[in-house]
A and B are shown apart, each in its own frame.
Chain A
Amino acid sequence: MPVPCRAGCGKNAMLKRPKTGDALCKECFFWAFETEIHFTITKGKLFKKGDSVAVAASGGKDSTVLAHVLKTLNERYNYGLNLMLLSIDEGITGYRDDSLETVKQNRDDYEMSLKILSYKELYGWTMDEIVAQIGRKNNCTFCGVFRRQALDRGAAMLNVKCIATGHNADDIAETVLMNVLRGDIARLKRCTAISTGSEGTIPRVKPLKYTYEKEIVMYAHYKRLVYFSTECVFAPNAYRGHARALLKDMEKIRPTCIMDIIYSGETMEVKEAVSLPSQRVCIRCNFVSSQEVCKACVLLEGLNKGLPKLGIGKSSKAKRMLEEYNAKQNKSLEEAINNINEEYEKNNCISKGKVCRSSCKSKQTAQINKTHKTTSETCCNGQSDEKLNTDNDITNSKVKVLLKEYGLSEATQDDSSNLISEKIDHSNTEKVANATNDDDFEVDSHNTDEQIVDEDDTCGGACGKIDSLHISF
């Protein structure tokens, strides 16, 4: 009792499309699937001819299909895009190391260059090490926040015009639902945007925004695309898992609900009276943030200070914790600053703490870790470990040279922590420059990512896909 293809091609249908209910054969499905993505791209004006585009690649189904389809459409419709793969290695043994092998397969299959950037080199911590510190409860927070920034850094290194991510229709509907369930109006407004990125940031685009997960999996299956589907070894986010399960249940009954939820999210209007957090710049790392200090810096500071819970939960809570911490530390601040110069004379390259221990042999890595440490230590105005202060000045002078070289002016701060803030900017700049050995990337240290603080409890890629969490088996 085969069903004929709805397109009238004479072949037997192989699947029922959830979006339209049409029964199509493989070939007509491929055509419909790819053409819809092409329309999404052209209607949303996601790319310009000649653009370099980084495909955020996790090795999972969505990014694998995205890379494949973008390559196909680029050739078919002559987009003139220079496509490349960008992967983040969170440092999750038994998970990401395996999935990166899949990404390498994508690189070979699709003949695209591949850049892999690790948390270890950017932040001084692998996810394995972070989980060892904080346990498995909130690790997705760290992973998600760090990944967003890592992707931006990687994209800046690659000097691309935008980052294409594999978010599919189900993911976006799920995020709309989550934001409604949390009453998170600011994110609700943003989460359906097909292209995000405020001024100065590298835009993120979602070519699969209207593409159903079922179709992505069927496409990958029929095209025999190789993808990685092992679950992240760390615990997923239960709340999102419930939202996802609810959505899947509803989709079963009425598949168009996915498109309808996205439509609702897109057209919902926010009352003028609702106050939305204004975007500003993190005083530490200069990335866009809705808070004084961005989430990534707060989390990193927590890790480096042994207060790993610092960035977990509401930002107001983190602020309170920081204030308490600062209050304690302020007494010793002046003393600590005085020590900086003295200590600097004595210690030129001290590696210390967890992050530096293993990598000090490599000067480059050591510097990254060191400056990282510096960033977090100085930014809270607290000097828990005076030895650390010595790094500030090393960094500071080096960075001054760098800043001159790149023609960047020093950031000015008008608050009392002037000295500290300056150092922060510098150390961050140096960190970036060191991490990349790429002059162009310098720009990125003043770049921003509005999403850094956007999603504080969403697993980004550890659960398999960039920026979205999937319920696990």
Chain B
Amino acid sequence: TMEPLKVHIQFGGGAELLFDKIKRREVELPALKKYYPDCKHEKWLIKDLLVWIKDNLLKERPELFLQGDSVRPGILVLINDADWELYGELDYELQQNDTIMFISTLHGG
């Protein structure tokens, strides 16, 4: 499919501090093959989204948000308000209008 994929990205628990303190964003992802010509799969997965976030939203200190090809341990990921651990984590396939939320547990409490 070549139509753009609309997803809502949210940051909370202090993770927004890495993204200009903006907690909610609506982004349109281009066709995956356009963005990553070498990509082996057709549809956007969360792991692709993380790379896209790193390239487009995360300006500095990416190590505070990402570690390896995943989020830094201690950052929770919610897919439509549900724990991503129930939905395959990095391999979850993004759907139109999904809300992906990143909540830091690493900040002071």
Using CB atoms and an 8 Å cutoff, list the residues of chain A in contact with chain B: 1-3, 12-16, 23, 58, 60-64, 166, 168, 170, 213-214, 216-218, 221-222, 227-232, 244-245, 248-249, 251-252, 461, 463-465, 470-473
Contact = CB atoms under 8 A, between A and B. Distances in A.
Contacts of B15: 473
Contacts of A61: 13, 105, 107, 109
Q: Which 5 A-B pairs have the closest CB atoms?
A: A464-B108, A60-B109, A61-B109, A229-B14, A15-B83
B74 A16 contact: no
B106 A166 contact: no
Given A217-B13, A473-B61, A473-B106, 14 more contacts: A15-B83, A16-B86, A170-B105, A213-B105, A217-B105, A222-B81, A229-B12, A230-B108, A248-B106, A249-B73, A464-B107, A464-B108, A473-B14, A473-B64
A217 B14 contact: no
Given A229-B13, A230-B17, A473-B64, A166 B86 contact: no
Interface of B: 12-15, 17-18, 61, 64, 72-74, 76, 78, 81-83, 85-87, 103-109
A16 B85 contact: yes
Contacts of A62: 109
Contacts of A245: 73
Contacts of B14: 229-231, 473
A15 B82 CA distance: 6
Contacts of A249: 73
Contacts, number: 101
Task: Choose among B12, B61, B86 the residue with the greatest number of A CB atoms under 10 Å from its CB.
Answer: B86
18 contacts: A13-B82, A13-B86, A15-B85, A63-B109, A213-B74, A214-B76, A222-B81, A229-B109, A230-B108, A231-B14, A231-B108, A252-B73, A470-B106, A470-B108, A473-B14, A473-B64, A473-B106, A473-B107
B108 A217 contact: no
A473 B18 contact: yes
A174 to B, nearest CB: 11
Contacts of B109: 58, 60-64, 166, 168, 213, 216, 227, 229, 464-465, 470
Contacts of A2: 86
Contact of A221 (B12, B74, B85, B87): B12
Contacts of B107: 60-61, 229-231, 464, 470, 472-473
A372 B81 CA distance: 52
B78 to A, nearest CB: 8
Task: Choose among A62, A221, A228 the residue with the greatest number of B CB atoms under 10 Å from its CB.
Answer: A221
B59 to A, nearest CB: 13
Nearest to B71: A252
Nearest to B72: A248
A218 B76 contact: yes
Nearest to B82: A14
